[in-house]
Structure 1
Amino acid sequence: MKKAFVWALAVIGCLGMLAEARAATEVKIVGDALVYGVYYSNRNFTGWNAGTWTSATPTWKGAGTKTEESFQIWERFRWRTDFIASEAVKFRLALKVEDTWGHGTFTAANPAVSIMPYQAYLQFKVPGCAFEATAGLQRVDLPQSSLFYASPVFGDNAAALVVQGPLIDKTLSILAGFGRLIDTNRTYDTTTTQVADELDLYFLAVPVTVEGFKATPWGAVAVAGRNADYFINKGSQYGSSYYADTLTSAGTYISPKLWKNDQNPFWWVGGAFEVSALDPVRFYADVIYGAGAQSDRKKNRREGWFLDLGLEYTGWDVLTPQAFGWWSTGEDKSTRNGSERMPLVRPNWGPGNGFLFDDSQELVKDSNVGMSPVGSWGLGASLNNISFMEKLTQRLTFMYVAGTNSAKAIRFLNDAMGSNPYFQMGRDLTVNEYVLGVNLDTKYMIYQNLAAIVETGWAHGEFQQSVWGHRLVSQSRDGDTWKVAFGLSYKF
């Protein structure tokens, strides 16, 4: 009862502030609500949990210690409010509530109220020029061609300062920013000895647009402190990996363990390309090279390449055919010479709303397999924007993914650590493994702002018993991974 009273006071307070704010500023409120059920069987291709880090020491639990719940009902409500002082100045506050029915906020009789801000930023025009600055918790995406949704290096909300604007009108622009992703101890370190406990990201992009062609060269640098919480903070939106998995090398966990340096720089250079000169045929491509911890012990270094290529035909009203592929470097036979996979921070990459990767799924929780975009290659095709009936659209996507990682390297770490979070069956593939995936997604607009959505997915994997062990591989052969999600999406 006390929690409900506090919640009511908070709502009344917010409404009061809004009413007062209207006198001096324009207030715009938009939002969305999702309610959906998800049937998801054989998560991680076994129906059991994947390995997880359990402390910053680090300690960990191996895979296969928990059994999945195959059906859950999720609800998410988001509320975005813009306080607009003028065309030059505004502030956005965005809040959300998200949980399953019967848990936390949506528990009967004794709910645990949980409201999370996911955006909170000040945005203003720089006086005397056309540049715009945004400071605060905001969406940050490193450049990526639009067919592949978002970046394999970083695509998520972050506390950041971003400045962007035109250098040559409609032809050349610039985007530069800084984000603090982790600050473990905040104001004071735990003892009188200062430690490097931050993870910072700096980035710069220079989009160039001419008729029929767009190219965005870009670069990014992350400064990774040794004592930041890489083993506690998730390194993917879907939650299938931690920062420790996406930044470190396998050799980091072989004695002497962890990084030697207090701080290690990581850097990426890349280009995103889109060609529409041959419209209605359009081409998309990305090339990225990344490296990090190069001055640390040789076994702790990580570097690699990532490339993708796609095309689509936009000349038909009833559907848009798409084809795509990608390739990235994978681990060689030795962990003593570092990792050959490109480092990542928070990937959000994937074509065709594919069920295998964490990308553009609308029914967000329990939405995909959570495979790593590095250490693999793959081919796929999608029939997008299928529309043979008014108000109904569909998308059908097929993918084949194979590994570029040496089986010997993964087997060596698994023998040394046992079942561990760094390499996971189904997320990280050897050269002898593959995964097939299909998803069919349907949206029907009941009203202008209300949609019924169905997302379905299927995945089949073939895995090496000599790498992952008899128990996990045998369980994966008992059944494929399936997802069926149905829900309602309301936007206001």
Structure 2
Amino acid sequence: MKKHLVLLMAAGLALAPLRAESVEFKVKGQWIVNFDYGNYGKFANSPRATNKAPNPSPYTGYNGGATNTADEFGTNQRVRLQLQAIASEYLSGTVWFEIGDQQWGNAMDRPGGTNAYGGALGADGNAVEVKNAYLDWTLPNTPLKVRMGIQEITLPNFVAKTSNIFQDDVPGIVASYKVNEHADVTGFWFRFYNDNYPGSLAGQPRTSANYMDNMDAAGLLVPLSFDGLKITPWFMHASIGPNVMNPRVNKAYSSWNSVPSNTSDQMGNGITSVYTGMLPAVWATKQGHSDRLTEYGNAFWGAVTGEYTGSDPFRLAWDFTYGSVAYEHAQLNRSGWEGFLLGEYKLDWGIPGIYAWYSSGDTGDIKNGSQRMPTIRSTTGNQLSKFASNGSIISRKNAVTAVWTGTWGFGARLKDISFLEDLTHTIRINHFRGTNDPVMAKYFLGKKNASGNYVTTRVGTDFNAGVEGIYLTTKDSATEFSLVNEWQIYKNLTMNLEAHYVLLNLDTSSSVWGRGAVAGGGWVGKPNLRDAWQCNLAFYYNF
């Protein structure tokens, strides 16, 4: 009976009318194998970055961004595979799979982790993940194009080719409409976080899980293109649920330096960037805020970016951005601006260029919030800096900062120098200086409390001076030297040999970062800083 039933069903399906159209499948991808050798990645010569003081001592010293626990030599790899299902020029679906980053010899994703990388003896890891998955379609009989799903987004930037505000993968919808040959209009909506809040923690008023924990952003871009001139004004607004910031803000702590054990990332990948980019640096790191957020925060960014190539081979590019975020407690607010300017001239043998930037910095009063521009997350892509910032793909990066807020500086580069076929070189020199008031160092060091008063006693703490990177005051600076050699071995295979060196110059006097007794007497220790450097050999296979 069952056999006859199956045959009848098969026959019915065969006779049923089917509307199937042919679909073309395309596969693209990239393999990267990277060999990295370097040291003092956070300008410290040991996991505890300091000269040791006489015992007993409450001080552990300056730590430039994070503990330096990486090996001098490391090897890792990454594979990305893109599969496209193309029904027509008006409809397609795309999925990106990523394997890695896999560190050779590393079996776990983190100490004590359960998700094996598969980079150790025996391999067999489960490091495969979905990077992107989106649908592209065009509204019939219109020039309106829509992309919906998890996709990589980079807000417009013509100088660094990456955005300090936001560049990463995010679920959302992007719709583009071509007005005419000179103008397009693009609107978008992204959902960064939702339904990740685990519920109220001990010591908090009772709050249900997944309550007011969404973070959404919407915006508009208007790319304008004329003969030799491109201009893209854009703006974006973000709404931030109070429980997105849990537990960094929404919990009172017993002391200015206390850091509870439950501050792990409960909200998912990238939330640390939101904490540090959308809150004043001191409040995001010192855990000293005692007022619980109960209302949505509102963030806004506006920018004008563009480039002029009408006087070829000369190129001029610029990016000017203002951003602000406001919460119900004014001391958590953050607002500021930044500007980048680049000029370069294309020659037969290379492209020399100079550039400069300025970004507003914090004043010495933490009660009125931060004067640095808020940022969400910026990943790989910066073309101005490979090691000091986030220009590298899977090798060491962000030695100074992932974003450039609170700094100003200038740089020069010779790009794409070529005297032999298939071999190019790029030389960069960057000089960073801070725009933050030196008084802010007192808060990071615990010499001033949440009320802005000097303290007479304290319990020392390991502390990272600026979790977005090195927090540079107006008395601090850093200089980066960089050489990148690129050999096109085959059409699809490239080898990069790079060398980078960053010199950090902090003001170690007692008025800024230098250590000293709070109430007089005691000892004075100096930060035990080292210059950061790395050499990198990478192979890229693109198909």
- Map 1:14-29 → 2, pairs under 5 A: 24-29=22-27
Q: What secondary structure does 1:365 align onto?
A: coil
- Deviation per residue, 1:127-180 (Å, 9 max, x gap): 2211110011111111111x3111110111111110012112x20101110111
1:204 and 2:220 correspond: yes
Where structure 2 has 5 or more consecutive residues not aligned to the other structure, the ranges are 1-19, 50-61, 107-116, 201-206, 249-263, 450-459, 516-523
- Map 1:452-463 → 2, pairs under 5 A: 452-463=495-506
Deviation at 1:344, TM superposition (A): 0.3
- Deviation per residue, 1:430-460 (Å, 9 max, x gap): 1000000011111111111111111211000
Provide closer, same or farther for how the CA distance between residues 444 and 240 of structure 1 changes in structure 2, counting only shifts above 3 A. farther
1:435 and 2:468 correspond: no
Q: Choose 135-144 or 323-332, whichever is displaced more.
A: 135-144
Residue in 1 that maps onto 2:342: 310
Deviation at 1:86, TM superposition (A): 1.3
Q: Distance in 2 between matches of 1:401 and 1:118?
A: 33
- Deviation per residue, 1:373-412 (Å, 9 max, x gap): 0000010001001111001011100000000001102322
Structure of higher CA gyration radius: 2
Q: What secondary structure does 1:33 align onto?
A: strand
Deviation at 1:258, TM superposition (A): 5.7
RMSD of Structure 2 on Structure 1 (CA)? 2.9
Q: Distance in 2 between matches of 1:258 and 1:453?
A: 50
Provide closer, same or farther for how the CA distance between residues 49 and 303 of structure 1 changes in structure 2, counting only shifts above 3 A. farther
Q: % of aligned pairs identical?
A: 24
Q: Choose 463-472 or 208-217, whichever is displaced more.
A: 463-472
Q: What secondary structure does 1:242 align onto?
A: helix
Q: Distance in 2 between matches of 1:298 and 1:229?
A: 16
2:163 alignment partner, one of 136, 151, 157:
151
Q: Distance in 1 between matches of 2:67 and 2:489?
A: 43
1:78 and 2:93 correspond: no
Provide closer, same or farther for how the CA distance between residues 449 and 473 of structure 1 changes in structure 2, counting only shifts above 3 A. farther
Q: Distance in 1 between matches of 2:29 and 2:44?
A: 37
The answer to whether the 8 A contact 2:387-2:396 is kept is: no
1:268 and 2:284 correspond: no
Residue in 2 that maps onto 1:33: 31
Residue in 2 that maps onto 1:290: 323
Deviation at 1:224, TM superposition (A): 1.1
Q: Distance in 2 between matches of 1:289 and 1:389?
A: 44
- Deviation per residue, 1:47-81 (Å, 9 max, x gap): 45699xxxxxxxxxx95766331111011111000
- Map 1:352-431 → 2, pairs under 5 A: 352-359=384-391, 361=392, 363-371=393-401, 372-415=403-446, 416=449, 418-421=461-464, 423-424=466-467, 427-431=470-474
- Deviation per residue, 1:13-70 (Å, 9 max, x gap): xxxxxxxxx984100001110111101210111145699xxxxxxxxxx957663311
- Deviation per residue, 1:303-349 (Å, 9 max, x gap): 001111011102x1210011100001101011011100000011257
The answer to whether the 8 A contact 2:277-2:468 is kept is: no
Provide closer, same or farther for how the CA distance between residues 261 and 308 of structure 1 changes in structure 2, counting only shifts above 3 A. farther
Provide closer, same or farther for how the CA distance between residues 262 and 426 of structure 1 changes in structure 2, counting only shifts above 3 A. closer
Whichever residue aligns with residue 290 of structure 2, its letter is K
Residue in 2 that maps onto 1:9: none
**Which of the pair is proportionally richer in strand?**
1
Q: Distance in 1 between matches of 2:501 and 2:266?
A: 25
The answer to whether the 8 A contact 1:410-1:423 is kept is: no
Q: What secondary structure does 1:336 align onto?
A: helix
The answer to whether the 8 A contact 1:251-1:338 is kept is: no
Provide closer, same or farther for how the CA distance between residues 472 and 268 of structure 1 changes in structure 2, counting only shifts above 3 A. farther
Q: Distance in 1 between matches of 2:322 and 2:130?
A: 33
Q: Distance in 1 between matches of 2:319 and 2:301?
A: 13
Provide closer, same or farther for how the CA distance between residues 194 and 318 of structure 1 changes in structure 2, counting only shifts above 3 A. closer
Whichever residue aligns with residue 475 of structure 1, its letter is N
Residue in 2 that maps onto 1:341: 372
Residue in 2 that maps onto 1:176: 187
Q: Distance in 2 between matches of 1:472 and 1:451?
A: 47
The answer to whether the 8 A contact 1:251-1:336 is kept is: no
Provide closer, same or farther for how the CA distance between residues 40 and 448 of structure 1 changes in structure 2, counting only shifts above 3 A. same
Whichever residue aligns with residue 364 of structure 1, its letter is I
The answer to whether the 8 A contact 1:370-1:427 is kept is: yes
TM-score of the superposed pair, with normalisation by structure 1:
0.85
Q: Distance in 2 between matches of 1:105 and 1:193?
A: 34
Where structure 1 has 5 or more consecutive residues not aligned to the other structure, the ranges are 1-21, 52-61
Provide closer, same or farther for how the CA distance between residues 275 and 65 of structure 1 changes in structure 2, counting only shifts above 3 A. closer
1:491 and 2:542 correspond: yes
Provide closer, same or farther for how the CA distance between residues 339 and 49 of structure 1 changes in structure 2, counting only shifts above 3 A. farther
The answer to whether the 8 A contact 2:104-2:120 is kept is: yes
Whichever residue aligns with residue 151 of structure 1, its letter is S
Q: Distance in 2 between matches of 1:425 and 1:86?
A: 44
1:161 and 2:159 correspond: no
Residue in 1 that maps onto 2:456: none
